[in-house]
Structure 1
Amino acid sequence: MESMTNLGINVVNLEIEKAVQLGLGRVELCLGKEKLYHDKLKKFYKMVNEAEKFNIPYSVHLPVYIEEWYPYDYFSAFFIDKNREKRELSFKLLELNLEKLKDSNAEYFVLHFPGICKEIYSGNEFEKILSTSLDRLNDIAKNYGVKIYLEYFGSNKNFCDYREWISVIRKYENLGILTDTGHLYFASIICEFDFMEALKVLTENSDAFHIWSTKGDKAYCQCESYKTFHHIAPHIGQNRNDGWAFDTEAVIKVIAKQKKPVIIEPSIVYGGSEYVIEGVQSIVKYF
């Protein structure tokens, strides 16, 4: 099929066939919610085969392959951590995944990059770690002939300025920036900047997007909505006046102008699958 839109969805909670029926033009694949890792991996490759069967573009949210020698949560990231051993573990896991996925037709790979760090490093020390790690990431991506998009977070005090993300990452040929609306909102709280202003700046310099929302004016573990519902599917009816993080329609209008890949990244705890489908139907017309 020919892609009709740059809007897509992470298919952990929605079958690819249903996504196609809803008029979506791409999907993102990752490990799912199955209890056993073997079952997660089996489901992942089932989704790869379905995406290729429907001839729909897909991205992959790394990592997919997890080994016992990696003792942390698989979505954790230590690429710019002060601890060299942790940095090496992150790079080792990345290369393992790219090697095992080298025959896939993924359009790009999504990577958590900055990790969580509340300690401020000395300027020269951190700049050296950041530069060396980005150089290495770009070389790895070049070696495998892939694009790796780094997902923006404000969780690392040493690398939370979105303008710095743009200035240092945009120069790399095989790296890009993925702006995630939910994490950007939390970053605006943690780092005290204007969400919509940052979104407009990042949107012009991003290669892809994730969309989801939440409620309240707190971030992560202090946000009751996030703790209860995790990622809430975007819906045109979500407005700040009603306690939502942002006016979803306004956010979508800004992002849709760029005609870049946009992935809805929802859980189904809030409103079930019906709310996700309603949300898709409410925003697909903007793309």
Structure 2
Amino acid sequence: MPAETALQLSQAPACYLHRGIDCIELFDYPLTAMAELRELYTELKRNGYGKLGFHSPMPRTRAFMDDGVACFYLHDDASQRGLSFDLLEHTLQHARQWQADYAVTHLTYGRTDTTDPGQAERLAAAACRRFAELSRYYEIPINVEFAAYTRTFNQPGQFIEAIARHDELALCIDTGHTRLGANLNGRDYFADIKTMAPYTRSMHLWNTMGNGSEHIPLHPAQDPVTGWIDIEQTLQLVLAENPAVTIIFEYPVAEVTRDIQAGYDWIKQIVNTCSLNK
């Protein structure tokens, strides 16, 4: 079975190919890797991975080589915001060439976002208007990934308000970011999940005990009683609202070991059970 990170190249910081349920999502490869990556994608399609997502930046341009971050949409500096829109448009150009099914972008980045709450909401609304315009032009739906590390813009309701007027946009729930954000802001994780579920079109799944940002692979032995995210309850809440949600395992895998496969099988079983109970 092909490895998720079969193309770990030094030209870009990340280079992640994440598998999902009948889907793969590409993130942060350099332009020079695209031909080889296309061959790998063709092989994956033959193995049943029919849906394709592009996570901005994808591919990363030589003009921007900062570590993994391309989301300055709430930055006070208009030139930084413009750089992020350029990177997103570049992603959408390639996504259309590859006939991708969707794209994902972050909206916030806590370290560089504005500290003015009113400005944050104005910039978020403007960014989502632009996302919708780009989505229509390139005919690629865009999922806005929720993260709650920005002091002035971290509520699920703020994200929902920013995207709700645009049919082209939906949310991407990231389980780890949602858990860490809930801890950071003193909120209930499941309350946030339940609020966002009706607006969610894709999910990034990984686990954490709430004490670090490392994307830990899923495994059925991760007991919520000991501090792990309750992935089963999370999926039940989201699948009740959108049974067709796209599910991505967002953690790097060099080899599909027995434990990794156990995690994949566990999630597929949960999804199948939820489907049967509808």
Could you say which TM-score interval applies, normalised by the shorter chain?
Answer: 0.7 to 0.9
Shift of 1:274: 2.5
Q: Is the 8 A contact 1:147 1:174 kept in 2?
A: yes
Shift of 1:14: 8.1
After alignment, is 58-67 or 180-189 more displaced?
A: 58-67
**Separation in 1, partners of 2:65, 2:171:** 27
Q: Which string of whole-angstrom CA distances, capped at 9 and with x for unpartnered residues, describes residues 79-127 of structure 1?
A: 1211111101111111122223322221111112211247763344333
1:243 is the counterpart of 2:231: no
Give the aligned partner of residue 57 of structure 1: 51
| Corresponding residue to 1:195 among 180, 189, 192 | 189
Q: Which string of whole-angstrom CA distances, capped at 9 and with x for unpartnered residues, describes residues 37-94 of structure 1?
A: 4664344322332344447122222212222322422433101211111101111111
**Separation in 1, partners of 2:113, 2:74:** 12
**Separation in 1, partners of 2:125, 2:236:** 34
Give the aligned partner of residue 152 of structure 1: 146
1:283 is the counterpart of 2:267: yes
Matches for 1:106-185 after TM superposition, within 5 Å: 106-117=100-111, 121-185=115-179
Give the aligned partner of residue 249 of structure 2: 264
Give the aligned partner of residue 3 of structure 1: none
TM-score, with length taken from structure 2: 0.81
1:12 is the counterpart of 2:12: no
1:254 is the counterpart of 2:247: no
Q: Is the 8 A contact 2:107 2:144 kept in 1?
A: yes
Cα 1:123–1:115, aligned 2, differ >3 Å: closer, same or farther?
closer
**Separation in 1, partners of 2:113, 2:73:** 15
Cα 1:264–1:11, aligned 2, differ >3 Å: closer, same or farther?
farther
1:25 is the counterpart of 2:22: yes
**Separation in 2, partners of 1:102, 1:237:** 39
**CA-based RMSD:** 2.8
Give the aligned partner of residue 207 of structure 1: 201
Q: Percent identity?
A: 19
**Separation in 1, partners of 2:167, 2:239:** 24
Shift of 1:154: 0.6
**Separation in 1, partners of 2:270, 2:121:** 40
TM-score, with length taken from structure 1: 0.78
Matches for 1:77-88 after TM superposition, within 5 Å: 77-88=71-82
After alignment, is 271-280 or 59-68 more displaced?
A: 271-280
One-letter amino acid of the counterpart of residue 254, structure 1? L
After alignment, is 251-260 or 173-182 more displaced?
A: 251-260
1:233 is the counterpart of 2:212: no
